[in-house]
Structure 1
Amino acid sequence: MELFIKWAVCTSLVLIPIPGTDGSIVNFHKTCICASNIVSCSKMNLTTVPSDLPKYTAVLDLSYNDINRLRAEWTTYKLPKLHNLLLSHNGLHFISTEAFVYVKDLRYLDLSSNNIRQLDEYIFEPLGDLEVLLLYNNHISQIDRTAFTGLSKLQKLYLSQNQVSRFPLELVKDKTRPEKLSLLDLSSNRIKVLPIQDLQDLPAWLRNGLYFHNNTLICDCELYSLMTYWYIRRLNSAVDFKDDYTCILPGPDKKILHVFELNVHMNCSTYNESVEEAFLEQSLVLKCDTRHRNMSKTWMLPGNVEVSPGSNQTAVVQPDGSLEISPVKLEDSGQYTCFAVSKHLNETLYVWVKVHNFTLNVNSETLNTAYTTLVGCLASVVLVLIYLYLTPCRCFCCPGQGKSKNQHEDSIHSSMLSATPTHEDLATKAEPNRHVAFIDPKDLQGQNGKVNRTGEEELEDEAKHGKGKRKKSVSDSISSVFSDTPIVV
């Protein structure tokens, strides 16, 4: 009886004149088809959404009509049971920011194959339960960074065949992406540059459903390395559309190449699996990066030793399936194996670990010691330079040197006129100007090959023998013209 009443209500609904048609009563062949809680008004040439929709409607199909504006008042009351709304192929180019206020329980929204050109801020925010959003085959070129805010349960987003030129990084970043998002289709757009590093850091289950083939990507070796790694991991996004990943070679020719052939055209190196490095006594976490979520994971240590719960091993499997090793020891180096199992997939992953034979603190102390030594050497160089160039003036630039020199010259001139100058004055005046010279003994040899000793040595020799001979003058000494007494300079 209840089903019959619902059918009767739906039938009476579509037999009345519907706004947007020619104003006449809709004939039988153009009526909405009602099947329990499904209302299908597809291909009825509607320009607006029919009013007075049943509140029990769970699926509403309005595809293939001429509804080009989805206003806020397309429904004036809540439809709490509506979870599927289909509006594809309508020429839709305007969506009000309040269009989904009364249909917050939507789980499936199809806006594909329309004329939508931009997605405004917070446009889908009321749809907290939405799981699938179809926006492919539109003319979308601008996407506000907050357009998908609030879609906490979104799992699949189709944005292919648009004019998107910016990769929507907010959809895949840790703090801004929908928690359950597993498929993001950005293929056949106008994206030129990818955030390579951010894509490398994504978990494998998200990369497995990230499609960006048939874009206008610029060829480079980072793109080649990224895609070859995804292909080695057998990710669906790389395997299923391998031949559709193309890029444009930089240069005037704008030649289009296959991404997986860049190693030939640009001499790109092949991808090498990275090695996890660790230091003694620190903690290390190894991730089992599987292609699907919620897989059962088992770890094997180097030497094929299984990690079992409750054992005394330093390696412990965490609730998320990762393996934590704490503290790290030298014997922890080697290959670790993760076996992941689910109903539809079995996967084996390998992680290589290299442990350095010192702690991270020792390395830091060594660095500090080297830094201290370098500073000490620089300080020594500065001190040497200060000593060489900033020491006090030598005697030739002393303030009283000029006067002393004049006095000495006067003394010499006076010695030329005086018969017996005093020895104290001569010694005092001559002492500051003494010079030390190193003379080759060969230059001091006499006619008989003997060394010509200095006057002081001869004087000491004569004193020992009690002789009072006069001291010989050296060739560099200055002799007085009028006196036999030598002047020592």
Structure 2
Amino acid sequence: MSVEDKRSFLHGVVAPTVLKPSPLWWCIVLLVCLQPSTCQSRNGPSQEGSCICTSDILSCTALGLEQIPKEMPVSAVTLDLSHNQIAQLKEASFLGLSRLETLRVSHNQLTSIEPRAFHNSSGTLLRHLDLSSNHLCDLEQHYFIDLPGLEELLLFNNRIVRVESSAFAKLSNLRKAYLSHNRLTDFPFFSIQKHTHSELLLLDLSSNRLPKLPLEDISNLPITIQRGLYLHNNSLVCDCSMYGLFHRWAELNFTSVTEFKEEHTCLVYGMQKGTVRFFKHDRYFEKCNIIGMKLPVPEQEGNVLANVGSAVVLHCVTNLTGQNVTFFWVSPNQGYLEPPGNREQSIKMYSNGSLEIKGASAEDSGMYLCMAMDKLQKCNETREVNLTVVMHQSHEHHESFNTGFTTLLGCVVSLVLVLMYLYLTPCRCPPCRKAPPPAAATTAPNQANEAGAGSAQSSILTPTPPTTTEGPGRKTSLSNSLPT
């Protein structure tokens, strides 16, 4: 039977019969329609399998891929290439993915990223990049140069031993960077500044091999970055300056310290066997003068109050740091100050731009202007600090102390006099004349006076007041008994 005969037969036999679809038939149709489509990798489906496309997500996980697939849908917003065998990100690996926002290449064999690997991709739209659990050893300058919109960068569990100073220079929108569980012995803290990384809130450098911290560079970081700087589980050598930094962060209740106190350790004399949990066993640092440590202060008010004769330090708080930054001050009398200070050594300047005035006087009051200049980047910043030097204000405390002491002394003297009055025998005075009985009205005033005098004497010599004296007569007798 030919094809046309079959069609005519079906048309004549089957078509007139109307069949109602069963519920099972509808379920089969829905399952077929909702099944995700597959996107073949560049190696083809015959080898290791195919990527899965669902809406704007492209998942190519655990397919044994050794290279980035060549043909990928341009609608992909999230691309997951984790758990493969990719060893290198070549130039234009993500060409055409103009909508890409999240890229995961974790758990691969990455050892390097070629220049322009992210060129002609979404670039400014890419916000999340996961390169964790790979074999990266160096973070070079060109790695992230095409990703100015990146906000979260995951690089933990690699083999990173070196970070170039300009590796994060173009990541102006970076908010979180995770570099824990690597092999870092140094990190360019001076390259992280407020005007270059104003959005950075978290920098995780924990579980590395940092032996010593550049305290000046760390203290010059913005306070928002210091609050989210994680440095636990490193190979830090125990010293007072290191302990002073973490002790100050603990007082400020930074979560990077308070939530990992058990994991903040240091090595006594650099020996691994002498590891000390210095927040739990801080007796090792008992002799450290934490208060006396002159660590740079990240914040300072614009108005500073000092007493006459005391030493005062004015901090030049700017966002410019590094070896190429120079500082100078202009005093209120238009004097120019630069390191090491003036000739009289009454004013001293430190390398971080802080200005110390020894033995401040009233003439030192006024507006001080600090300027920081970066000759390499050709930029500068200024800072104004208003200093007011006043007379010593502690006399109020001395006055209150003297007043209290005088009051206490008066109470003691009064108590002694009362005790003397109660327990010492009074002097024997001649007996007072008894008043004669009232004979006439003319003698009443004299008798009243004598009675008043007797009442006055009894009121002094006896602890209880007299009971036979009236109010007006008592007042008169007391006034008359007083010596003239």
**Runs of 4+ that moved beyond 6 A:** 273-276, 280-287, 331-334
Q: Is the 8 A contact 1:119 1:142 kept in 2?
A: yes
Q: For 2:393 and 2:199, how far apart are their aligned partners in 1?
A: 35
1:64 paired residue among 75, 83, 102: 83
Counterpart Cα distance in 1 of 2:235 and 2:314: 40
Structure 1 counterpart of 2:283, one-letter code: V
Q: 1:268 to 1:98 in 2, by over 3 A?
A: farther
* CA displacement at 1:280 relative to structure 2: 8.6
Change (3 A) 1:35 1:263: same
Displacement of 1:111 after TM fit?
0.2
Displacement of 1:110: 0.3
Q: 1:80 to 1:213 in 2, by over 3 A?
A: same
Unaligned runs of 5+ in 2: 1-31, 318-365, 367-382, 395-484
Cα-to-partner distance string for 1:386-418 (whole Å, 9 max, x where unaligned): xxxxxxxxxxxxxxxxxxxxxxxxxxxxxxxxx
Q: Does 1:181 align with 2:200?
A: yes
State the match for 1:250 in structure 2.
269
1:6-405 alignment to 2 at 5 Å? 14=39, 16=40, 18-20=41-43, 24=46, 30-75=49-94, 77-103=95-121, 104=123, 105-174=125-194, 177-250=196-269, 254-260=273-279, 263-269=282-288, 271-272=290-291, 278=305, 326=386, 328=388, 330=390
1:335-357 Cα distance to aligned partner (Å, 9 max, x none): xxxxxxxxxxxxxxxxxxxxxxx
- Residues paired across the two proteins, number: 287
* Number of the residue aligned with 2:399: none
Closer/same/farther in 2, CA of residues 200 and 259 from structure 1, 3 Å limit? farther
Determine the C-alpha separation between the residues in 1 that align with 2:280 and 2:37.
63
Q: Could you state the TM-score of these two structures normalised by the residue count of structure 1?
A: 0.52
**Partner Cα separation in structure 1 for residue 72 and residue 219 of structure 2:** 48
Shift of 1:115: 0.8
Deviation at 1:152, TM superposition (A): 0.8
Q: Could you state the TM-score of these two structures normalised by the residue count of structure 2?
A: 0.53
1:262 CA drift (Å) = 6.5
- Residue 64 of structure 1 deviates from its aligned partner by 0.8
Query: Residues 166 and 191 of structure 2 are in contact (CA less than 8 Å); yes or no, is this contact kept in structure 1?
Result: no
Amino acid aligned to 1:58: V
Are the equivalent residues in 1 in contact too, given 2:267–2:276 (CA < 8 A)? yes
Shift in alpha-carbon separation, 1:332–1:156, aligned structure 2, 3 A: farther
* Unaligned runs of at least 5 residues, structure 1: 1-6, 288-313, 315-322, 335-489
332 and 203 in structure 1: CA distance in 2 versus 1, 3 angstrom threshold: farther
Distance 2:270 2:171 in 1: 41
Kept after mapping to 1: 8 A contact 2:79/2:100: yes
- Cα–Cα, structure 1 residues 125 and 325, in superposed 2: closer, same or farther, change >3 Å? closer
Separation in 1 of the partners of 2:189 and 2:393?
36
Over aligned residues, Cα RMSD in angstroms? 3.7
Alpha-carbon shift at residue 332 of structure 1 (Å): 11
CA–CA distance in structure 2, aligned partners of residues 262 and 246 of structure 1:
10
- Deviation, 1:130, is 0.5
Report the Cα offset of residue 253 of structure 1.
7.2
User: How far apart, CA to CA, are the structure 1 residues paired with 2:313 and 2:248?
Assistant: 27
1:155 deviation in Å? 0.8
Deviation of 1:66 after TM superposition, in Å, equals 1.2
Deviations 1:147-192 (A, max 9, x none): 11211111111100001111221343456x5221111000111110
Task: Supply the distance in 1 between the matched residues of 2:257 and 2:190 (Cα, whole angstroms).
Answer: 22
Give the whole-Å Cα distance in 2 for the aligned partners of 1:216 and 1:194: 10
For the pair shown, the structure with the greater C-alpha radius of gyration is: 1
Report the CA distance between 1:25 and its aligned residue.
Answer: 7.1
- Following superposition, the deviation at residue 327 of structure 1 comes to 6.5
**Pairwise CA distance, 1:12:** 5.8
Distance 1:246 1:285 in 2: 31
Identical pairs, percent = 34
